[in-house]
Amino acid sequence: GHYIFIGWNERTRQLIRLMAEKFPDTPIVVIDRTEKKILYEDYPVHFIHGDASDEHILLKANIKEAAKVLITANTSKAEKHADSFTILSILTIRGTNKDIPIVAEILSKTYVENALRAGASTIIRSNDFLSTLLFHELSHQVASTPFEDILEILKRKQFSHMPVTKELEHRSFLEASNLLMLQGYLLLGIIRENQYKIHPPADYILQKGDILLAFVSWQRKEI
């Protein structure tokens, strides 16, 4: 199935370039209500001018057959207007396709709950992300270049969540790191009862039910 990107902006343009490079076979449809047209030669996508909270526009984008939808925020508008439009679009999308994953960017924390109620699958709180990143850039106490570091990691690796195996239960974090590294995983931490424990002490003991958080290469197949 194809991907539908709602909102034409620098983020979607860069994303389309990444997609074209890594997954050139995934067709992309872009919907935007201000832009009238885009140059196909520059961006290999199908473009629809219109309002994505309007069911007819979504049907034109063949929403029923699509694989995923991404809604990016219109940052040139006031935050509450951008988020309100995103939530209306989520509602309309969910009304036409009840199973499709919807990734939505929300600018203001106060709209996150309503975006989830409307049917979003994943919320990207981009302001949270950028402010945390700026905090790192301003405050790091040891030598580093946090912005470059994270970007390089994201370009090369993906995150993996997997339940702790019987073999790893009752092992220390250090032992588990060793065993997983030989299988192509770099263990970063665990998620226990929905709480992240990133880089716990070397002697921290894993237990049944823990989720292992690890880096894995993009090439590696689903385990």
Binding to Ca ion in span 31-60, by CB under 5 A: 32-33, 52
Judged by CB under 5 A, does residue 171 bind Ca ion?
A: no
Judged by CB under 8 A, does residue 155 bind its own copies?
A: yes
Are the C-beta atoms of residues 90 and 115 closer than 8 Å to each other? Answer: yes
φ, ψ dihedrals at 144, nearest 5°: 180, 170
∠ CA 58-60-63, rounded to 5°: 45
Within 202-221, which residues bind its own copies (CB under 8 A)?
202, 213, 215-218, 220-221
Are the C-beta atoms of residues 201 and 172 closer than 8 Å to each other? Answer: no
Residue 39 touches which of Ca ion, its own copies, none (Cβ within 5-8 Å per kind): none
CA distance 198 to 189: 4
Q: At what angle do helices 146-156 and 126-139 cross, to 10 degrees?
A: 130
Residue nearer to Ca ion on the CB measure, 54 or 169? 54
Nearest distance from residue 41's CB to its own copies, in Å? 19
Residue 177 touches which of its own copies, Ca ion, none (Cβ within 5-8 Å per kind): its own copies
Residue span 55-84 as binding mask against its own copies, x where in contact by CB under 8 A, dash where not: -------------x-x-x--xxx-x-----
